[in-house]
Amino acid sequence: MADPFKAPDSPRKKAQTYFTQSEQRDRLMRQEIEKERTASAAKTAKLRALRLAKEAADKEAADKLAADKAELKANAGPASKRTRG
């Protein structure tokens, strides 16, 4: 004969198994979300570094162009004036 005290334990065991599986799925989802966040943060950092490097290169090129223009203007200025004589 079956033990009458073990009968109520079966639904409890099923429920515990269900909740354990649910917790495992939740844990896996959290890990996956964390991986995606890490990948996104790495991508953002890489793009930011590239943007800053490009901005620095653009600024350097603009400064060089401005210096060249100033030098040409300084050199061409007095030579272009005509003297009447």
Domain range holding 40? 32-76
Task: Report yes or no on 40 lying in a domain.
Answer: yes
Q: What is the pLDDT of residue 55?
A: 98
Residue 9 banded pLDDT, cuts 50, 70, 90: confident
Task: Report yes or no on 8 lying in a domain.
Answer: no
Q: What is the pLDDT of residue 69?
A: 92
> In this prediction, what percent of the chain has a pLDDT beyond 90?
64
User: Which region holds residue 84: left if phi is over 0, alpha if psi is between -120 and 50, else beta?
Assistant: beta
Residue whose pair of structure tokens reads 């909740």 in the numeric block = 19
Residue type at position 57: A
Task: Report yes or no on 41 lying in a domain.
Answer: yes
Q: pLDDT digits over 15-55, tens only? A: 899 999 999 999 999 999 999 999 999 999 999 999 999 99
C-alpha closest to that of 64 among 52, 75, 72: 72
Residue whose pair of structure tokens reads 């996956």 in the numeric block = 32
Note the pTM of the prediction, 2 decimals.
Answer: 0.57
Structural domain count of the chain? 1
Cα separations in angstroms, 33 against 30, 36, 60, 79: 5, 5, 40, 69
Q: What is the pLDDT of residue 85?
A: 53
